[in-house]
């Protein structure tokens, strides 16, 4: 028995929700370890659809403990709204089933305002082409305050004197920024009162979760670490600066929840059978033709949280292989194979061409990332349906050939294969918890 970390191996939106839900039934504890409420999962359990942003996927299952780790930046009002929405759907959420790291940093209302103001300024300064593509929810500015040692943390809500002092110091910085953007300064007194009212609602969930996790691990409980976004949005290893503001690779599971790196035994990388991306930034295999439109339509490629249309392209084995190496991925959960049904020919990116030079990795430089061209390998498609297959025996021979070729190219085996949004339409090759 081992503990499992689930991470995205592309640009996010790989279908983690279904896989995490499938695994959470086998886990005792589900931990969210990075990101904010800019990422989302859609779960379908017992015919009921749940949309989650901050809450770990375990909350919809009875008997599971859900933990929001210190690596997450928490918008407390968004979290409470999400809790209430799920309660209205019949999900029992209380302090006995949900715990929040007392040292997690908070997203405050002005973080989102700054996020949006910056995007507008970038857009104007670069004639409409300068946006990073953030969701405007304040994730980046909140992480900035955390790293700059001026963030308000969950534990600060318990000490009014400390809260008032820290808020005053924080506003010195943010009001100066707002003046530069021509935005009204923040009313510190009004915000302090909102935080006072928030304290009794949020603090019952707070605790040193690192200590709880240590005890759970010693007791032999199965822990599932749930990431957000994907490897190519990692602030260090992704397509910088078109990335998120946290580390999205599996190493963050330890840092973002307060456990040792040896706690994570198996890293499962969620990988779509083609490639999608939301927002700005390089996308070597992006399609602007009928094939791209077909992928988007069949795959229902719209964001869970934002509703933004996703850009679509062929499978990029270079990116996924890089994610395997930087994230320590031991097995893949390949999703949306059924979206490729009916294509006569499929393409797989096996390398890049950069000004006549062949590359087998994504270069770090911004200009190089924008200039690379995909080198494709073509493979025959299949006309039969893979939708709903629950065994490799049910798959067309060409679909199996496609899966095996992806394994060779990315240098990692497929542990799970998803053939529809339905939870049970999953082919299990390797049980990550039993590995």
Q: Is the dihedral of CA 255, 258, 260, 263 positive or negative?
A: negative
| Distances in whole angstroms, Cα of residue 273 to Cα of each of 15, 260, 343, 418 | 10, 32, 13, 10
Q: What is the pLDDT along the chain (435 residues), one digit of tens a residue?
A: 689 999 999 998 898 888 888 898 889 999 999 999 876 777 777 778 888 889 998 898 888 999 999 999 999 999 999 999 999 999 999 999 999 999 999 999 999 888 888 888 777 766 555 677 777 789 999 999 999 999 999 999 999 999 999 999 999 999 998 888 888 899 999 999 999 999 999 999 999 999 999 999 999 999 999 998 899 999 999 999 999 999 999 999 999 999 999 999 999 999 999 999 988 899 999 999 999 999 999 988 876 556 678 999 999 999 999 999 999 999 999 999 999 999 999 999 999 999 999 999 999 999 999 999 999 999 999 999 999 889 899 999 999 999 999 999 999 999 999 988 877 888 999 999 986
User: Vertex 99, ends 97 and 105: CA angle to 5°?
Assistant: 155
Distance of CA 124 to the CA centre of its chain: 29
- Residues involved in catalysis: 13, 41
| Full-model pTM | 0.92
């Amino acid at each position: 028995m081992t503990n499992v970390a689930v991470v995205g191996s592309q640009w996010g939106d790989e279908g983690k929700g279904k896989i995490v839900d499938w695994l959470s039934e086998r886990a005792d504890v589900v931990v969210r370890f990075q990101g904010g409420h800019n990422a989302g999962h859609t779960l379908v359990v017992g015919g009921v659809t749940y949309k989650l942003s901050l809450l770990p996927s375990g909350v919809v299952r009875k008997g599971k403990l859900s933990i929001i780790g210190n690596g997450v930046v928490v918008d407390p009002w968004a979290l409470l709204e999400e809790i209430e929405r799920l309660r209205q759907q019949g999900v029992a959420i209380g302090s006995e089933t949900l715990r929040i790291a007392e040292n997690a940093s908070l997203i405050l209302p002005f973080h989102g305002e700054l996020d949006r103001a910056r995007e507008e300024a970038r857009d104007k300064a670069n004639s409409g082409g300068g946006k990073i593509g953030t969701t405007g929810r304040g994730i980046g500015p909140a992480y900035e305050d955390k790293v700059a040692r001026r963030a308000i943390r969950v534990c600060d809500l318990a000490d009014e004197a400390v809260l008032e002092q820290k808020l005053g110091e924080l506003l010195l910085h943010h009001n100066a920024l707002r003046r530069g953007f021509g935005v009204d300064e923040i009313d510190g007194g009004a915000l302090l009162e909102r935080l006072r009212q928030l304290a009794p609602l949020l603090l019952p969930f707070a605790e040193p979760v690192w200590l709880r996790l240590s005890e759970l691990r010693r007791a032999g409980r199965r822990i599932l670490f749930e990431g957000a976004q994907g490897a190519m949005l990692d602030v260090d290893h992704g397509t910088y600066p078109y990335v998120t503001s946290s580390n999205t690779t599996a190493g963050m599971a330890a840092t973002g929840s307060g456990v040792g790196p040896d706690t994570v035994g198996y890293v499962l990388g969620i990988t779509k059978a083609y490639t999608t991306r939301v927002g700005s930034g390089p996308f070597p295999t992006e399609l602007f033709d009928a094939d791209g439109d077909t992928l988007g339509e069949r795959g229902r490629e719209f964001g869970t949280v934002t509703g933004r249309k996703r850009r679509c392209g062929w499978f990029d084995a270079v990116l996924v292989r890089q994610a395997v190496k930087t994230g320590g991925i031991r097995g893949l959960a390949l999703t949306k194979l059924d979206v490729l049904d009916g294509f006569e020919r499929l393409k797989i990116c096996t390398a890049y061409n950069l000004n006549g030079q062949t590359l087998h990795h994504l270069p770090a430089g911004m200009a190089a990332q924008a200039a690379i061209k995909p080198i494709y390998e073509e493979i025959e498609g299949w006309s039969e349906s893979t939708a709903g297959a629950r065994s490799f025996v049910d798959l067309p021979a060409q679909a199996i050939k496609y899966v095996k070729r992806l394994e060779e190219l990315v240098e990692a085996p497929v542990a799970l294969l998803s053939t529809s949004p339905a939870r049970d339409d999953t082919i299990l090759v390797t049980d990550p918890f039993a590995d």
